[in-house]
């Protein structure tokens, strides 16, 4: 693991998600740029001292020299956005598979280069777009792919948060601090941090691709350096239209992700804060409430569900689904087996590129005085 010391946030989540299924063990790490923090963190994580490193460079070099079976199999990188690309490339160069937090890189160029590196090395790569890990999301994806909703016409996807309603970055809050800093976060604030999540969710669930968008990004908190709010009209490759909303100044909101997809036969409605329920609305038929563990009865939902219906699974289980599928894929490949489609069902480098394209496009469209349609992946 690179990053994820005791003073960090998302690293702890990665560990919880990775350990749950007993497929993955933490064997080494460089948990902070502060060597003291790295040491003390590694100790708390029950690591032997010699495998707690002070730089990721050191870690990759030393680990790659350990005998197979003893050295780490893959690395998880959970640092701020501007420290994604370098350690990822170095890990790949040393033969390690990679799990990376989103957005994938700092710039779109890095994203393309990372893909080249992956093509070159043939190693396995996962990007933790957590929300696509929920079984109800996967079931909805299958329903849509099977044509149950008919031709998809309209998609509403939204991610309201409220935690950046005030200037938290001035109060010493580390999370707020790097996320609102263009030098560490990248071109976009809110849109990079959470807009990418719902963009990915919309494309993952529908199987469609955004082809162009029109956006307005806003900075509501005075003197903030990046967008803390925005909305976009989306056009999809099958002619469907969408509205994407992401905001971090919706005071009082937690992580109220919601996606609604309407076809000409019916629609689905899913909310992350009650993730075990998938409401399906039909034209001229009663609404159905599908539930994880019971009526969400597709094979893909079952594969990504751990406990029986009525015992809620949550965010950590969705996150763990990415790790488990990634681990199953790595293991299968290590054993010379072909991973099944269900094993391969985790976000990868192409999703990461889409995400970086989304950031480029939405910033290009949304920061202008004039509002414009911008083709996906283009800038104006």
Which residues ranging from 309 to 348 are in contact with its own copies (CB under 8 A)? 309-317
- Which of 13/359 has CB closer to its own copies? 13
Question: Contact at 8 Å (CB) between 356 and 103?
Answer: yes
As measured in angstroms, the least distance from the Cβ of 309 to its own copies is 5
Give the Å distances, CA to CA, from 269 to 59, 278, 284.
45, 6, 17
Nearest to 109 by CA among 364, 351, 376, 356: 356
Window of 58-66, 99-107, 281-289, 349-357 that interacts with its own copies by CB under 8 A: 281-289
Verify binding: residue 364, its own copies, rule CB under 8 A: no
Nearer to its own copies by Cβ, of 2 and 261: the residue is 261
Q: Is 236 in the site for its own copies (CB under 8 A)?
A: no
Q: What is the spatial distance between Cα 222 and Cα 166, in angstroms, rounded to a whole number?
A: 9
Minimum distance of its own copies from residue 254's CB (angstroms): 2
Cβ proximity to its own copies: between 86 and 253 the closer is 253
Contact by Cβ (8 Å): 152, 263: yes
Residues between 258 and 277 with contacts to its own copies, criterion CB under 8 A:
260, 262-267, 272-276
- Which residue lies nearer to its own copies by CB, 317 or 345? 317
Q: What is the spatial distance between Cα 140 and Cα 269, in angstroms, rounded to a whole number?
A: 9
* Among 92, 99, 250, 343, interactor with its own copies by CB under 8 A: 250
55-94: contacts with its own copies (CB under 8 A)? none
Does the footprint of its own copies cover residue 229 (CB under 8 A)? Answer: yes
Instruction: Identify the CA nearest to 134 among candidates 35, 273, 6, 18.
Output: 273
Answer whether 28's CB lies under 8 Å from 63's CB: yes
Determine, following the binding rule CB under 8 A, whether residue 283 of this chain makes contact with its own copies.
yes
From CA 247, how far away is CA 218, in angstroms rounded? Answer: 9
**In terms of CB distance, is 281 or 375 closer to its own copies?**
281
Q: Which of 166, 238, 340, 379 touches its own copies by CB under 8 A?
A: 166
Query: Does 282 engage in binding with its own copies (CB under 8 A)?
Result: yes
The smaller minimum CB distance to its own copies, of residues 113 and 265, is found at 265
Q: Which of 104, 84, 87 is nearest to 96 (CA)?
A: 87
355 phi/psi in degrees, rounded to 5? -60, -45
Q: Does 233 bind its own copies (CB under 8 A)?
A: yes
What is the smallest separation between the CB atom of 225 and its own copies, expressed in angstroms? 18
Give DSSP secondary structure letters for 190-231: HIIIIIHHHHHHHHHHH---EEEEEEEEE--STT-SS-SEEE
Q: What is the pattern of x (binds its own copies, CB under 8 A) and - over residues 169-208? A: ----------------------------------------
What is the DSSP secondary-structure string of 139-156?
A: HHHHHHHTTTT-SEEEEE
Minimum CB distance to its own copies, residue 34 (Å): 21
Question: Measured from the CB of residue 113, what is the shortest distance to its own copies in angstroms?
Answer: 32
The Cα 184–Cα 177 span in angstroms is: 9
When binding is defined by CB under 8 A, the residue of 6, 12, 37, 86 that contacts its own copies is 12
Q: Cα–Cα distance between 144 and 156 in angstroms, integer?
A: 15
Residues 286-305 that bind its own copies (CB under 8 A): 286-291, 293-295
């Amino acid at each position: 693991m690179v990053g994820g010391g005791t003073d960090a946030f998302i690293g702890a989540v990665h560990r919880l998600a990775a350990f749950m299924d007993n497929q993955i063990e933490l064997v080494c790490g460089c948990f902070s740029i502060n060597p003291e923090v790295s040491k003390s963190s590694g100790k708390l994580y029950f690591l032997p001292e010699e495998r707690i490193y002070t730089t990721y460079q050191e870690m990759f070099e030393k680990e790659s020299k350990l005998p197979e079976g003893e050295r780490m199999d893959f690395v998880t990188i959970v640092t701020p956005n501007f420290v994604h690309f370098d350690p990822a490339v170095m890990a790949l160069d040393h033969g390690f598979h990679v799990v990376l937090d989103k957005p994938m890189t700092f710039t779109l160029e890095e994203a393309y280069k990372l893909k080249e590196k992956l093509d070159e090395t043939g190693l396995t790569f996962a990007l933790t777009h957590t929300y696509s890990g929920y079984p109800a999301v996967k079931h909805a994806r299958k329903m849509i792919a099977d044509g149950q909703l008919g031709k998809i016409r309209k998609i509403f996807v939204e991610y309201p948060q409220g935690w950046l309603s005030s200037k938290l970055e001035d109060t010493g809050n580390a999370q707020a601090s790097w996320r609102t800093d263009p030098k560490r976060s990248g071109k976009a604030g809110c849109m990079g941090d959470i807009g990418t999540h719902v963009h990915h969710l919309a494309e993952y669930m529908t199987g469609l691709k955004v082809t162009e968008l029109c956006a307005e990004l806003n900075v509501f908190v005075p003197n903030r350096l990046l967008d803390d709010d925005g909305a976009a009209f989306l056009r999809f490759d099958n002619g469907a239209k969408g509205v994407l909303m992401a905001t971090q100044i919706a005071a009082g909101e937690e992580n109220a992700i919601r996606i609604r997809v309407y076809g000409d036969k019916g629609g689905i409605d899913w909310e992350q804060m009650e993730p075990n329920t998938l409401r399906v609305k039909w034209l001229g038929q009663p609404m159905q409430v599908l539930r994880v563990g019971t009526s969400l009865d597709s094979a893909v939902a079952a594969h990504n569900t751990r406990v029986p219906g009525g015992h809620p699974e949550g965010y950590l289980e969705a996150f763990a689904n990415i790790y488990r599928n990634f681990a199953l894929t790595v293991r299968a490949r290590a054993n010379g087996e072909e991973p099944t489609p269900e094993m391969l069902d985790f976000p990868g480098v192409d999703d990461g590129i889409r995400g970086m394209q989304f950031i480029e496009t939405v910033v290009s469209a949304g920061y202008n005085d004039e509002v414009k349609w911008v083709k996906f992946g283009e800038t104006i």
